[in-house]
């Protein structure tokens, strides 16, 4: 498999965030929030939809819901790791479980957030895990 790379010059484009969640309302609300914070977003209803998009390039950040049918967010993260694909990932869930957070972090997730997610918390998480951006604004 060819390993795709993020654009080396992130200063001339809005950072691209992929949102993978089976809940359309969550996808829409997160997309609107991130668009207002100067991020470009791509949304996917399933892990399979996201995986099919990879030949088009990697996002700068991946936000993935843990509880999805077919392939869970944790399974998606593990699949990416196994394929040698490193995307800074934020796992989100409505269920607060220490064990789930540990599994996600062990699989490579760099942040773990509980729904409902505070706007500032999400923006701060993205800023802390994506190299080359200091805020959600254009630089």
Q: 36-51: per-residue pLDDT in tens?
A: 999 999 999 999 999 9
Structural domain boundaries in the chain: 15-129
Q: What is the pLDDT of residue 13?
A: 78
Percent of the chain residues past pLDDT 70, beyond the cut: 86
Domain covering 15-129: architecture? 3-Layer(aba) Sandwich (3.40)
**Which of the four pLDDT bands, split at 50, 70 and 90, describes residue 135?**
low
Please give the pLDDT value at position 10: 41
The structure tokens listed for 89 are 């990932």
For the packed helices 24-36 and 119-129, what is the interaxial angle rounded to 10 degrees?
A: 70
pLDDT of 68 above 60: yes
Q: Lowest-confidence range among 12-21, 23-32, 53-62?
A: 12-21
What pLDDT, on the 0 to 100 scale, is given for residue 30?
Answer: 97
Distance (Å, whole) CA 82 – CA 35: 31
Average pLDDT of the chain, as a whole number: 87
d(CA 48, CA 78): 13
Give the SS3 label for residue 17. Answer: strand
The position carrying tokens 């990879």 is 54
Alpha carbon 92 to its chain's center = 9
What is the maximal distance between C-alpha atoms in the chain?
39
Separation CA 122–CA 117 (nearest Å):
7
* Cα distance between residue 17 and residue 14, in whole Å: 9
DSSP letters spanning 74-91: HHHHHHHHHTT----EEE
Overall pTM surpassing 0.95 (yes/no):
no
| Dist. CA 132–CA 139, nearest whole Å | 9
């Amino acid at each position: 498999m060819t390993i795709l790379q993020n654009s080396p010059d992130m200063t001339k484009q809005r950072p691209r965030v992929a949102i993978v969640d089976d809940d359309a309302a969550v996808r829409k609300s997160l997309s609107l929030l991130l668009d207002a914070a100067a991020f470009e977003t791509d949304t996917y209803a399933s892990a399979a939809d996201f995986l099919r998009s990879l030949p088009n390039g990697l996002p700068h950040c991946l936000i993935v819901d843990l509880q999805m049918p077919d392939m869970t967010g944790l399974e998606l993260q593990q699949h990416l790791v196994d394929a040698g694909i490193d995307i800074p990932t934020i796992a989100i869930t409505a269920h607060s479980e220490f064990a789930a957070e540990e599994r996600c972090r062990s699989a490579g997730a760099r942040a773990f957030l509980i729904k409902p997610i505070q706007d500032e918390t999400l923006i701060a998480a993205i800023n802390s895990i994506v190299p080359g951006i200091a805020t959600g604004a254009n630089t």
